[in-house]
Structure 1
Amino acid sequence: MIKVLVLYYSSYGHIEAMAEAVAGGARDAGAHVHIKRVPETIPSDVAAEAHFKLDQWAPVATIEDLPGYDAIIVGAPTRFGRMPAQMAAFLDQAGGLWLSGALHGKVGAAFTSSASQHGGNETTLFSILTNLLHFGMVIVGLPYSHQGQLTLDEVVGGSPYGATTIAGGRGERQPSAIDLAGARHQGELVARYAIKLAV
Structure 2
Amino acid sequence: MHDILVLYYSHHGAVKQLAQLVARGVEGVAGCRARLRTVPKVSTVCEASEPAIPDSGAPYVERQDLDECIAVALGSPTRFGNMAAPMKYFWDGTASEWTRGTLAGKPACVFTSSGAMHGGNEATLISMMLPLLHHGMVLVGLPFTEPALNLTQTGGTPYGASHVAGMMSDQPVSEHEKQLCLALGRRLAETALKLAK
TM-score by length of 2: 0.91
The equivalent of 1:51 in structure 2 is none
C-alpha separation between the residues in 1 aligned to 2:194 and 2:178?
24
1:20-39 equivalence runs, <5 A: 20-30=20-30, 31-39=32-40
CA positional deviation for 1:174:
2.0
Distance 1:145 1:55, change over 3 A: farther
CA positional deviation for 1:177:
1.6
1:159-170 equivalence runs, <5 A: 159-170=157-168
1:84-99 equivalence runs, <5 A: 84-99=84-99
Which ranges of structure 2 fall in alignment gaps of 5 or more residues? none
Distance 1:170 1:55, change over 3 A: farther
CA positional deviation for 1:2:
2.1
- Paired residue type of 2:172: Q
1:53-92 equivalence runs, <5 A: 56-92=56-92
Secondary structure, aligned partner of 1:78: strand
Q: Does 1:5 align with 2:5?
A: yes
Instruction: Tell me if the contact between 1:125 and 1:162 (Cα under 8 Å) persists in the aligned partners.
Output: yes
Q: Deviations over 1:95-116 (max 9, x none)?
A: 0001111111111110001111
Percent identity (aligned) = 39
Q: Does 1:188 align with 2:186?
A: yes
- Paired residue type of 1:184: L
The equivalent of 1:106 in structure 2 is 106
C-alpha separation between the residues in 1 aligned to 2:142 and 2:2?
20
TM-score by length of 1: 0.90
C-alpha separation between the residues in 2 aligned to 1:55 and 1:148?
35
C-alpha separation between the residues in 2 aligned to 1:99 and 1:60?
22
Which ranges of structure 1 fall in alignment gaps of 5 or more residues? 48-53
Instruction: Tell me if the contact between 2:151 and 2:176 (Cα under 8 Å) persists in the aligned partners.
Output: no
C-alpha separation between the residues in 2 aligned to 1:144 and 1:56?
36
Instruction: Tell me if the contact between 2:155 and 2:163 (Cα under 8 Å) persists in the aligned partners.
Output: yes
Structural RMSD (CA)? 1.6
Q: Does 1:179 align with 2:183?
A: no
C-alpha separation between the residues in 2 aligned to 1:70 and 1:18?
20
CA positional deviation for 1:55:
6.2
- Paired residue type of 1:81: G
The list of structure 1 runs, each at least 4 consecutive aligned residues, that deviate by more than 6 angstroms after superposition, is none
C-alpha separation between the residues in 2 aligned to 1:105 and 1:3?
16
Q: Deviations over 1:43-89 (max 9, x none)?
A: 8xxx9xxxxxx864111112332111100000001001100101000
C-alpha separation between the residues in 2 aligned to 1:73 and 1:171?
22
